[in-house]
Chains A and B, each alone.
Chain A
């Protein structure tokens, strides 16, 4: 009797004693849609159906063995970001040094302009010396008039 055999294999199955060949017979009995499963065994069908369905699951992702691994796109992005950061850094340092040069130029010109103003001021101050002379003379004259 086939049913006897199935029951016996099932018992062995749960004890972990069934062989792969016996398990194949069980699988066939429970998963073959053509089979009419005995009512008292029907609840076991889901076990075998589940395992045979699990076997259909496959990985659809392609395997990559080269250096370019899809698993690490973050490194690619990181290195791109690093390159951009470095380039920006270099550009900015160039940019700021050119600004520096401009600033120094402006500073020197300002200094020169201030010197010029200073020189002219000194010239003006030289003119002032006559004024002092005049003042001294004036005070002398004033003192004389006081004496009178």
Chain B
């Protein structure tokens, strides 16, 4: 496989990998490093890639493993990431003004979820994968994907209602 062909293959889903990495690692720089590492690993092992059923699913799994490893080693060295500021340049100014608080609140809620639920929510509600695909990516069975997803969504709803009722903060 040529480099151009490889890049063409990964281009459609590289941002999904980036977003998953950022969901887990929170920092943009670290997510970019993760993306770079994962794609390089794919490129180095390109001869084996064609044997995998879905390169995309394999790439997501590799990203997940890389990020979880990073988090483990970070925890081991007592480093904690505290990036809770959420910036989004793409939404319109008007929408931003009225939605900024609730969107950053959503971000905080999602970031507090357990890693597995975070990943399931990311892959389903942001990237719109099917349960079977998510199961393959996260090495879970589709039924547990469904359970984790339901838990994550319900937690988000409860937290939102809580904040709504008692006011933000």
Using a CB–CB cutoff of 8 Å, the interface residues on chain A facing chain B are: 13-17, 20, 23-24, 33, 43-44, 46-47, 49-51, 53-59, 61, 63-65, 69-71
Is B59 positioned at the interface, with any CB of A under 8 Å from its CB?
Answer: no
Number of interface residues of B (CB under 8 A): 47
In the bound complex, residues from chain A placing their C-beta under 8 Å from that of B43 are 65
Q: How far is the CA of A77 from the CA of B168 in the complex (A)?
A: 48
**Are the CB atoms of A14 and B157 closer together than 8 Å?**
yes
Restricting to B23-78, which residues have a CB under 8 Å from any CB of A?
31-33, 35-37, 39-40, 43
Is B83 positioned at the interface, with any CB of A under 8 Å from its CB?
Answer: no
Is B113 positioned at the interface, with any CB of A under 8 Å from its CB?
Answer: no
**Are the CB atoms of B130 and A20 closer together than 8 Å?**
yes
Is B85 positioned at the interface, with any CB of A under 8 Å from its CB?
Answer: no
Interchain pairs with CB closer than 8 A, number: 94
Smallest CB–CB gap between B49 and chain A, Å? 13
Is B141 positioned at the interface, with any CB of A under 8 Å from its CB?
Answer: no
Q: How far is the CA of A70 from the CA of B40 in the complex (A)?
A: 12
In the bound complex, residues from chain A placing their C-beta under 8 Å from that of B84 are none
Smallest CB–CB gap between B152 and chain A, Å? 9
Given contacts A53-B90, A58-B18, A59-B31, whether A46 and B103 have CB atoms under 8 Å apart is: yes
Given contacts A56-B90, A59-B31, whether A49 and B6 have CB atoms under 8 Å apart is: no
**Are the CB atoms of A55 and B39 closer together than 8 Å?**
no
Is B139 positioned at the interface, with any CB of A under 8 Å from its CB?
Answer: no
Partner of B15, one of A17, A24, A58: A58
In the bound complex, residues from chain B placing their C-beta under 8 Å from that of A63 are 7, 10, 14, 35-36, 39
A-B contacts, 13 of them at CB < 8 A, read: A14-B153, A17-B150, A49-B103, A50-B107, A54-B19, A54-B122, A55-B19, A56-B88, A57-B22, A58-B18, A65-B6, A70-B36, A71-B33
